[in-house]
Chain A
Amino acid sequence: MPPRIRSSQVLHRAESSLLQCSSNPTAPAAAGRPSSSYSSSTLLSSSLSATSSRQPSSPCCAFQRSSFSSTASRDLNRAQRTFWEWMRTDGRKLRDPVGHPNYLKAGQQPFPSNNAFKSQPILSDAARNTIYNAVMNEGLPLKAVSAKYNVDMRRVAAVVRMKEIEMKWIKEGKPLARPYAKAVQSMVPHSHLSGEEQDPFEPINDIHVHSHTMQQLFLPTSEARHFTRQDAAKAFGEHILAPDEKMRIPELIAFEKDLVAGVGNEDAEANFFKATAASERAIADKHLARAQRDENNKTRVDSGRFEFRFERISVDSAGQDGRARRGVGWRYGVPFNDRRRAVVKIPTKVE
């Protein structure tokens, strides 16, 4: 509401209170009329300060700030009063860090209405160092580290990747955000990955639920049939994989099978490490072979100043109609939208 109108309201209120004080019996009826308030505003201006003092929020600082204004400060509405009351009581507890997680609702629940979301622990600095040492210094395969500490394989890789950068920064003398890191670690629940008795950090054997398997399916079979997970997957679709094939660390199943078969714990572990190392080596070999194949496809000519790289390409990669996406170069009749207006050019990947 503009201040001009507000000031007239205040005057109006002042007038009405004055009129109520007077013993004139006709005065209360006249109080409601705005015309009288305009006419008497100059007369009543001296009594303004007296009436405004009864308002709950008439801080003197409001006048200090704008000393030229005769406008009275605004009243607090109910919502604002509730807010400030809350700030003094419950909100006060949430203002400053207390050294441990401090959320609106107990049970690590930052959103009171959503009990399906919890603030879950993060890895502490010590835990990250442990993981980094296991991978880089002890040379354990990622899968083995993941299984040992119950940390997702992708997280293990991310921890190592970012730790490398951190160490590079330290080497270069680039300042780290240590105070910020400490503050966050004190506010968010965290896990040190130290004790055996601790709850597992996170599930590492998650498998994706394929949308084809979310429907209910009635499949008539004979009662005598030995209907396994593989059969169930087939029933949902030819291309649906059984859970055993979707496992991120299938070596863990082999490890458990060893235990069931009566192989000793140490031997089973040794087998597990061997298998995971082999699988990791196979992946590395595959990447190496691909890089080698790409390299073989290239001819490098070093002119001293520039290195020219010639790549062998196939005309057939443009497909039968010449419009296949893998086709190289400008092709007749195929739109080339690189610089066209109103075509989204936000990258879809960064490598």
Chain B
Amino acid sequence: MKFRRMARFHGLKRPRIRQTWNKYNLFNLAKSREPYFFSKTFFQQKWNAKAITRGYHGEHIKERAWERMFSRRLLSVVDMHPDYMARHDGSEQAAGRGSGLDQDPRGRKGLVVRNGSSTKPTPYMQMTFAPMERRLDVAIFRALFASSARQARQFVVHGAVKVNGMKMTHPSYLLNPGDMFQVDVESVLTATGRKKETSANKAKSSSSNSAEEAGEAEESTETEVPAVELDEEVVDAATLKEREVEALKKLMKRAKSVIESQSKEMSVKRKKALRALIKDVNSTMSRVSRTTSDTMIHKTGDVVDDLMNLLSRLEVGPEDAAKADKESREAEYATKEEQNLLRKAIEAELENPRDPSKPYATPWTPRPYMSAFAFIPRYLEVNQNICAAVYLRHPVARQGLGEVPTPFSIEQSQLAFNWYLRRG
């Protein structure tokens, strides 16, 4: 988003809470207070509440379109307990003068519990914007596949989203219960991951370090991911890398010792294999120890596969293992741990590779401030591994719990609901 537009979108002067994971939004959310209503007419109160709530719920949707979607029918459910239903037919609630017998007036002891009612009120008013949650773009945002509702909308328009296996390019498609939507994995990783360190970013990072200390707002608004974080990331990666390199070094040393000790007894084939192993380990080491990783690594998978194969052969050992003397056996036992460490390092590398061709920072790490916004409402079931989610049912209100994720209080939502009721 352009800076000027962003400054107004996440304004500090006239704050509006938005459907994004932006840090300014988080600040506005943390500092949000109930609006001052005492000197306002009822109309003004409703107008204000409408404006504020609509700033969050589908601000990218035209008012007329939302008015058509709005429903005064608010869905709710009651949890009925089968054990209660098996023991009672409901007549005990109509006993006496019609509202049940008061069995123990002192301590409400004899009252039937678990009959579906509790003392908590049902927050119906928090369901005002429930129809909005049916929209495909909003559901993608709620499933944590995009960092804002507008970005989710872009994913749909750009053809990165499938509904029930078919490409869907309408962000306003209303999901039906049971619909499964899938978002392109790379898009999700780009949207939710840290920003990549580019040359332009880097230049900014050196200046924004001092700028942040000086408290300059403008600088870091433009880069949503402040560049200070990138340094920390490098440090974390460096320690991990050191461990990997160490494991690889040990492996190489061992392979060399095996060749030296058993050079006479070994078959040519095995010798060749071991030499290839040393070569591969060398190349992997140089790859891992490269800090900037400028070069492309296409054969990552091949190298690691070869390594794994050789590792297993080394471990089992064909006919040489039987011939090997006591010392070498002991050495083999000692390296089991190292092998595991190496295997883990390789697996981690395979799972989350360092790949400069990606549009996000690799290895992938979540973007800052994501955790404060990370929740998945119960009407969705999400499988993060394949970036797919099922819209199970419409959001409902139950006792003490409104399922629509809304940052506003019940009073505000109620005023907004009253605005859309259009009854003077």
Interface residues of A (CB under 8 A from B): 56-62, 64-65, 73-74, 76-77, 79-84, 86-87, 90-91, 94-98, 101-104, 108, 110-114, 116-120, 122-123, 125, 128, 152, 154-155, 158-159, 161-163, 165-166, 169, 175-181, 183-185, 187-188, 202-203, 205-209, 211, 223, 226-229, 232, 243-244, 247, 249, 252-257, 259-260, 346-351
Contact = CB atoms under 8 A, between A and B. Distances in A.
Interface string B76-95: 11111111011101110010
Given A117-B402, A176-B385, A179-B352, A187 B370 contact: yes
Contact of B217 (A83, A103, A207, A348): A83
Contacts of A108: 375
Given A84-B215, A104-B29, A205 B79 contact: yes
B111 interface: no
Interface string B13-43: 1000000000110110111101000000000
Interface string B342-367: 00000000011000000000011110
B374 interface: yes
B410 interface: yes
Contact of B381 (A158, A232, A351): A158
12 contacts: A82-B12, A97-B371, A111-B405, A117-B402, A117-B406, A154-B390, A158-B381, A158-B392, A159-B381, A184-B376, A184-B384, A350-B166
A189 to B, nearest CB: 9
B374 A76 contact: no
A278 to B, nearest CB: 18
Nearest to B217: A80
Contacts of B217: 76, 80, 83-84
Contact-size category for B: 35 or more
A169 B386 contact: yes
Given A162-B386, A178-B385, A247-B85, 5 more contacts: A94-B372, A113-B34, A117-B405, A152-B392, A163-B383
A79 B386 contact: no
Given A62-B216, A114-B126, A346-B170, A161 B390 contact: yes
B21 to A, nearest CB: 11
A183 B173 contact: no
B373 A110 contact: yes
A180 B189 contact: yes
Contacts of A118: 401
Contact of A175 (B185, B366, B372, B412): B185
A259 B87 CA distance: 10
Nearest to A204: B79
| 10 tightest Cβ-Cβ pairs between the two chains A and B | A256-B86, A229-B90, A181-B384, A119-B375, A158-B390, A79-B12, A162-B383, A187-B374, A252-B82, A116-B123
A97 B370 contact: yes
Contact of A183 (B366, B387, B396): B366
Contact of A184 (B73, B364, B374): B374
A79 B221 CA distance: 14
Given A116-B123, A177-B189, A256-B82, A57 B385 contact: no
A211 B212 CA distance: 55
A162 B372 contact: no
Interface in B378-409: 378, 381-388, 390, 392-393, 396, 398, 400-409
B410 to A, nearest CB: 7
Contacts of B215: 56-57, 76, 80-81, 84
Nearest to A211: B73
Interface stretch (B176-184, B248-256, B284-292, B308-316): B176-184
Contacts of B166: 350
Contact of A155 (B81, B373, B392, B396): B392
A347 B170 contact: yes
Given A56-B215, A80-B12, A183-B365, A112 B29 contact: yes
Interface string B322-355: 0000000000000000000000000000011000
A350 B94 contact: no
B34 to A, nearest CB: 7
Given A116-B402, A206-B79, A255-B82, A180 B364 contact: yes
B211 A256 contact: no
Given A113-B34, A209-B77, A229 B12 contact: no
A14 B388 CA distance: 61
A178 B352 contact: yes
B371 A205 contact: no
A149 to B, nearest CB: 14
A83 B383 CA distance: 36
B30 A206 contact: no
A122 B211 CA distance: 40
Contacts of B385: 125, 166, 169, 176-178, 181
Contacts of A243: 80, 85, 116
Contacts of B128: none
A106 to B, nearest CB: 13
B147 interface: no
B172 interface: yes
B390 A162 contact: yes
A260 B405 CA distance: 41
B76 A209 contact: yes
B218 interface: yes
Nearest to B372: A94
Contacts of B208: 61
A111 B407 contact: yes
A349 B391 CA distance: 13
B207 interface: yes
Given A205-B79, A206-B398, A83 B374 contact: no
A282 to B, nearest CB: 20
A229 B89 contact: yes
B30 A112 contact: yes
A59 B210 contact: yes
B368 interface: yes
Contacts of A347: 168, 170, 173
Contacts of A169: 385-386
B90 to A, nearest CB: 4
Contact of B400 (A65, A116, A209): A116
Contacts of B179: 350
